[in-house]
Amino acid sequence: MDEIETGYSKIMEKIDELKKTEGNLEDTVRKNDAKLLSRMADSAVPVVKAVGMNLLKKGKQDTKGEIYDPQYYPQKMIILGKAETAGFRPDNPQMPVTDQFCVLSEDGDFFELMYSFDGFLTDSYLNPLDAKRAIDQYGYDIMVMLYTAMHDYLKGEEVLVQALDTVIGYIFTRAA
């Protein structure tokens, strides 16, 4: 029975050591989360350029809720998260915010996209964010969304490359 107790004690010691290490690693990750998010954003630039959208900057809304005379931001962006709206926009305290999103631009920059609607005009403000402030305001969800976007893009590219490989193989096998 002594061998079992000795083995059990060693396992408990290892668990305690791992818990200490886990806590230290967790602290290190939290201290460097903005650096990680910034590096992820830099790596995601080609993905944003390929799959990003031109988001609405300003547009008029008809009685059916359809947008006409739209104006879009010139650079592509992906939406990473949504937050509770701020009471008003930083560029104009008279404009209440109806929707608020964290976006990543094709330049690798984070922004807070704030939409306002006055009953006729949908207008927006693009507020620059640094990585730390983006995490503070939107949480780690934006990091997960950025990772997911990169992962899904890669998976799509693998499927495309595999399909092209199959087609090319078929064409050259038939031609020979």
What pLDDT shows up at residue 138? 93
Instruction: Categorize the per-residue pLDDT at 169 as very low, low, confident or very high, splitting at 50, 70 and 90.
Output: confident
Task: Note the pTM of the prediction, 2 decimals.
Answer: 0.76
In this structure, which amino acid lies at residue 31? K
What pLDDT shows up at residue 53? 94
135 backbone φψ class: left, alpha, beta (φ>0; ψ -120 to 50): alpha
| Nearest of 109, 60, 116 to residue 89 by alpha carbon | 116
What is the tens place of the pLDDT at every residue in 45-90?
999 998 999 999 999 988 888 888 999 999 999 999 998 888 888 9
Which of helix, strand or coil describes residue 58? Answer: strand
Q: How many CA atoms lie within 13 A of 98 on its CB side?
A: 9
Question: In degrees rounded to 5, what are phi and psi of residue 34?
Answer: -70, -40
Q: Which residues partner with 77 through β-bridges?
A: 53, 105
What pLDDT shows up at residue 176? 47
Q: How many CA atoms lie within 13 A of 163 on its CB side?
A: 6
Distance CA 67, CA 52 (A): 20
What pLDDT shows up at residue 105? 97
What is the tens place of the pLDDT at every residue in 82-138?
988 888 889 988 889 999 999 999 999 999 999 998 888 889 999 999 999 999 999
Q: Is the pLDDT of residue 4 over 80?
A: no
Which residue ranges make up each domain of the chain?
32-175
